[in-house]
Each structure stands twice: as structure tokens, then as C-alpha cells.
Structure 1
């Protein structure tokens, strides 16, 4: 943790340098605010407009967490089924990979046509974004279980269910958390995309209204909020990983 803290100043320094250069270029080139606002104007808008923006942030957080939970659960279920039933894996896994070549933003209008403007199409969008990294990571984790340990448990008389719950699943936890980290960052993006399907509040709605009225500073406020929430979700998953699989982390050190 201390090493991460000591190294953390480097990206922060680079980020501050980029903001400084951005500020100077906008001021010196006299770029219009509606085209490219200065960082100082963006941060000022974020502070002064927080009262109206906070409700949109909370709506996106709730939507993202709900979709992430459903996506993780569905992804783990699919991974277990594909791992336990080999012929299903051989038939379905290529189709899962093929499905990821279809952009979610293209499917959004179809989901509205099929399911309307309610909560269901929004949950489907976030689930589609989140479940694939979990499924792939969990499958890889199951396959990486040490053969010697599996052989030892079979020699001890362990059943197939005991082998999975007591060895293969715990052994796959680091891989599962790796997939969860990716899905956690995707969940916010998926929530924002889903809010374009007709939501009444959320960062996606806020961004759409701001861009249509050429309030570019508010658009950047929304972008920075999405980035911050993605990093926050990512950090929460890292904390959960450190709490739940300390034995694995200590063994790796």
C-alpha cells in the first residue's frame, strides 16, 4: 500500500501538467468556451453546478451497481455452466466471442423497440457490457487449477461438487476478480449508454442536455465524473480482492 502511495504522485503530476498546458493553450489561442473550455472553467462549473448535478450522479451510481451485480451473477453462472458441461462450452463459447463484435450502442435502439423505455433495456445493456469479462476470466481461472491438487482430492474421495466448491472455485478467485475489475469500469459506461435510451436522470441525460445546448463545460464535467466513478468502482473491487483472498496475495509476494 505504501509503495502504491509513493508511486501515485507520478500520474497525478503528469495529469496536473496536462491540465496546466491545456489551460495555457486555451488562454493563449483565445479558443471560445463553447468549443473548448479551460480546465479552470470546467472545475468551476463542477463546483457551482454540483447541487443540480449530484442527483444525476447518484442515479448513474444506482443503475451501474444494479447492472454490475446482475452482470457478475450472470457471467459467473454462464462460466460455471460452460466449464461443467464441455460440449456446451464447445458450442456456445465461439458465439459469445462473436457477440462481442456487435457494439452495444447499435443494439440500444432495438432494445427500446423490443422492451420499451423502462428499466429492463437499461439492465440488459449493462449486463451485456459486464458479463463477458467475468465469463472469460472465470473460465480461465477454473482451467488453471493445479492438476496435482485435483488428483490429490480425487484420491481422497472428493466428489465432483466438492472438487469444484473447495478447490476450483477458490483457485479461480484471482481471475474472477480480474474480470470484475474490468466489468466495474465498464458498468459506468454501460449505465451512461443505457441512460440514452430514455431515462429521466443520470449522467447520460445530463451530458445529452449539455451537448444539445452547447454547454461544453458541463459535458466535460460529465466526462470527468464518469472517469472518477470508474476509478472508484475499480478501487472498491481491489479492496474486496485484498480482503477476500489475502492468502493468494501473500503467497504471490
Structure 2
């Protein structure tokens, strides 16, 4: 019960702080609208917000899927082939020195102003955290497990699928959580650079028209969407590593005793 009430209590507390700031500063509604005004706009403009939210959600989900698949494939390649690791790993590290946001105009030029450029932007942001987390998890497989597998005659493919991958699942789950957190950033930044649909476009358009309440409403929808995506990915990550949940529960019970 408390698990369900805690997010509601936190949301209510943030709303009260927001309203208190509006009261104390006396900010006009075109600078900082109150939460009640934003909620009213959210209800009145709900069809419009859902129309743009559907586009942004599709961009985020496609980017998350592609970034995760590419990151997992890259991590497996880095672990499997040492020669490739010596060439690809430095490229991955150097690529992080380039601000991904600076690539948005280039992606618009190459892929156009449709959904493809936003999906590519989200994929690029997601790719490195997933690759790095999964690669670290695969490298940190306990040596004793691998030695036992070799003693039992397991080949490299069996070691990878039955030992390395299960051992890397906790790290992979952490990478997925980070990916779920940053995926909306890529999609929205892409929409800011050039788009005719999506929450990022709606926020930019509302800001230009001084419809700050609509901009905050779109931001609220985006925040709820991002939170829902994070908790969904977190649920999947916990399902992939049930032994971690059991050990955590056991430790909690031990502490309570």
C-alpha cells in the first residue's frame, strides 16, 4: 500500500512547494503559472497533448529498442573478439567527447524532419550507457565459474550464453535504467531542432506563443511518461534478475530482526 501512496505523496508535496513559490514570488501567470492552472490546461487540452505525446512516446520506444539491441550486440562483440575490442573500444570512448546534442542538426540534414532523425538521436544517447554497462558485466564474470565450465568441457559459446550473460544481467539492468532515463532527452531535443509533431515541438510552439501553462502541461505529461517508462524498465530488469530481489528481501528481513 505504501508503495502506491509514496509517489502520490511526493507529487502532492511538489505541487504544494510549486504553489508556495508562486504565492511568495507573486510571479505572473505568463512567467510561472500555478499548478491548478496547469492542471486545468492539461484537462482542457488533453486530446492535443495525447496526440503529440503518442509521437514522442513512439520515438522514445524505438530509440530505446534500437539503442539496447545495438549496445548489447556491441558489448558481446567486444568480449568475444579481442582484436575488435582494441579498435572499437577507443572509438566508443572518443565518441563520447562529441556532444550528442550537437549532432541533432546533422541528423536532421541526413534523415529529414520526420521520426527517423528523432529515433536516431535517442538511439545515440542510449547506445553508450547500455554498451558500457553490459561490457563491464560480461568482463566481470567470476573466474571460478569460467574455470568450472572449462573443466566440464563447455565451449566458448556455451560459456557466453550460460555463464557470462546471466552474470552480466545485473549490470545490463543498470544500463537499461540509465537508458530509460535519458531516452526522452534525445527525442525531445530532436523535436526542438526541427519537427512538426511531438511534445518537444508543442513546448517550443507554446513558449513562442506565451502559452506557458500549455508548455508546463506538456512538460508534466513528458515527466509522467518518463517515470512510467523508467518503472516499466526497472520491472523488466528485476524480472531478469530475480535472485537479486530475493537477496535484497532477505537482507532487509535480517536487518529488521
Q: TM-score of the superposition, structure 1-length normalised? A: 0.90
1:54 match: 50
Provide the rounded CA distance (Å) in 2 between the counterparts of 1:210 and 1:220: 9
Q: Which stretch shifts more, 182-191 or 93-102? A: 93-102
Asked if the contact 1:122–1:197 (Cα under 8 Å) also holds between the matched residues in 2, the reply is no
The question of 1:242 aligning with 2:238 is answered yes
Asked if the contact 1:153–1:163 (Cα under 8 Å) also holds between the matched residues in 2, the reply is yes
1:237: how far off? 1.2
The question of 1:5 aligning with 2:28 is answered no
1:97: how far off? 2.2
Counting matched residue pairs gives 249
1:186 match: 182
Q: What are the within-5 Å matches in structure 2 for residues 141-152 of structure 1?
A: 141-152=137-148
1:137: how far off? 0.6
CA RMSD, aligned part only?
2.0
2:114 match: 118
2:20 to 17, 24, 34: 24
Give 5+ residue unaligned stretches, structure 2.
251-257
The question of 1:155 aligning with 2:151 is answered yes
Task: Kindly provide the CA deviation profile for residues 188-211 of structure 1, in whole angstroms up to 9, marking residues without a partner as x.
Answer: 221112223433321111111111
Q: TM-score of the superposition, structure 2-length normalised? A: 0.89
Say if 1:37 and 1:164 are closer, same or farther in 2 by CA, change over 3 A. Answer: same
Say if 1:22 and 1:120 are closer, same or farther in 2 by CA, change over 3 A. Answer: closer
SS in structure 2 of the partner of residue 196 of structure 1: helix
Asked if the contact 2:176–2:237 (Cα under 8 Å) also holds between the matched residues in 1, the reply is no
1:89 match: 85
Asked if the contact 2:72–2:134 (Cα under 8 Å) also holds between the matched residues in 1, the reply is yes
Asked if the contact 1:64–1:188 (Cα under 8 Å) also holds between the matched residues in 2, the reply is yes
